[in-house]
Amino acid sequence: MPRDTHIPNGQEILPEGPDRVAQLTAQVKALNDDLRHHSATDVLRAAIEHVPNLALVSSFGAESVALLHLASMVKRDLPVLFIDTEMLFTETLVYQQELGERLGLRNIQIIRAADIAEKDPDGTLHQRDPDACCAFRKTVPLQTALQGFDGWITGRKRFQSGTRASLPFFEVETPGDAPARIKVNPLAHWQAGDVADYITENRLPRHPLVAQGYPSIGCAPCTSTVKPGEDPRAGRWRDTQKEECGIHFVDGKMVRTGAKT
């Protein structure tokens, strides 16, 4: 973090309201301006320093190990929220446990929906309404868990989809009725090759399904293998216009769908 960086109001987070949004907007602008040429590690350190109550959200998917490794080197007791939708691949559940132990992550919190038996008793909602399935299995439990935090860290990257093409390091998120908070994207500027190189150079274990043709991994029923030459996310909600699971917000609204690019 540059020594001459000046962040408005330090670590003070105001109550919800126009003043809070204005403060966070100024804080985000300062952080983006000061860190625009800095590394993902610098962004993580700045986030931990200037956002008083911060969590990292991870799917423990195909590329998650890079960000988790960076976080483990900066703050091993950083809260890591892992959403178990109860429709994940068995390989993902095993990988989450093994990776947490290997990286020494001391504060992994497993999040689950409380009403799955009521809303999807036969486990077929994803076939009829994938948006609704994502919402109650993933989006709502995560947003509930995040209510205790002033900001969260994601693994999103610009190259992943058209909706992420101009992704900044820091954003202000206004999630409906919940207080505004800061979203941090340390890997925003990384390319696919950067992720692969980082994993190789640091000898990090890959998700076992990557070698089986899954470059992007979500819930088992909605994830398929990807053929050579296809977009890495082509296997997510294949043959639909759906592109996002719904955990990300733009101007207060969830981003759930969009043309695949």
Residues acting as catalytic residues: 245
Considering only CA atoms, which of 200, 167, 216, 181 is closest in space to residue 69? 200
* 34 neighbors 43 (Cβ within 8 angstroms): no
Phi, psi of 170 (to 5 degrees): -125, 140
